[in-house]
Amino acid sequence: MDLFIVKKSVENTVENTAVNEAPPRTEDTMPACTVKVHGQGTAAVKVDHTVDSIRFEHPSIGEVTVRQDLEFRGEGRDATARLCWDAAFPMAQFLCEHAESVRGRDVVELGAGPGLPGLVAAKLGASRVTLTDLPSELELLRTNASLNGFGEEDGADEGSSSGRVDVAACTWGDEAQMSAVGKRDVVVCSDVLYGHHADVARALARTMRALVRDDGICLVAYFSREKLMHDLAFFEECDLLFEDPVQRTVAGVDEEDKEDLWFFEYRPK
């Protein structure tokens, strides 16, 4: 899929949004979700932001449970990194369907929030997983890593199929933080864009390229929402840094959600 097709998708989505004028999602309008996702069931994309934990289940890994931080309510704080977002379940489902993409490989998740996809990658046998977010947002990631048996001080047991998990700051575009994380085989980005400034969106693309090895892949799950035009800078920057993306599909996603879920695999130029 080249940039022209991405742009046409942007235009079509914006036109549809203008016609339908869907209201912004708020605590009152947020649809309920199923907090369990089974291997042959529905990859739910409507995350419940009123529950303090989310559980993902798949036959290949058992379960991964992550906590959401609900204490931000009424404090005027940005909750973005403290909650799971809609693409987390489809990304986790995709990784379980394609375990070979992460098994035995070095993985980093950017903008990880509670860290669900990265922890699923660890359960699938990634040799190392680094969960990253802003420096102020790492406590929840450490909590969720420990909750799933990946305390940073422990590491994986000898002979275990579960990889080692660590947590690190990685502000997009920060050279020192990117250098500390280092090159990886797989870069995971799950629902990390929503109306960001163009410079931030471009910094995300450049961070992906800085961290992925030349023979590695970047997996990007993105929901085309009402702020899609603001995120176009990300796709333009990716067009400069990566080959044309391969559009992937995820089993179990409801028909009504398939059109809005963009799931791309990028490889470096």
- Reported as a single tens digit per residue, the pLDDT across 221-256 is 998 766 677 789 999 999 999 999 999 988 777 777
- 211: amino acid identity, one letter: L
Non-local CB neighbours of 240 within 8 Å, separated by 6+ positions: none
**What is the C-alpha to C-alpha distance for residues 44 and 34, in angstroms, rounded to an integer?**
6
User: Structurally, how many domains does the chain consist of?
Assistant: 1
Query: How does residue 78 score in pLDDT terms, banded at 50, 70 and 90?
Result: low
**Cα separation of 52 and 74, whole Å?**
16
Cα-based distances in Å from 263 to 140, 190, 218: 26, 9, 11
Q: What integer pLDDT is reported at residue 86 of this predicted model?
A: 85
**pLDDT tens profile 29-38:** 333 233 444 4
CA 227 to chain centre: 18
Q: Which domain holds residue 81?
A: 3-266
Q: Measured between alpha carbons, how far is residue 113 from residues 18, 40, 107, 139, 244 in Å?
A: 30, 26, 16, 10, 28
**How many residues would you count in the chain?**
269
Query: Which residue type does 210 have?
Result: A
- What are 92-127's pLDDT values in tens digits? 999 999 999 999 999 999 999 999 999 999 999 999
What is the CA angle 250-137-202, rounded to 5? 60
Q: Residue 192's CB: how many other CB atoms inside 10 A? A: 25
* pTM to 2 decimal places: 0.82
Question: What's residue 52's pLDDT?
Answer: 87
Please, what is the average pLDDT of the chain? 80
Write the CATH number for 25.
Answer: 3.40.50.150
Cβ 204 vs Cβ 192: under 8 Å: yes
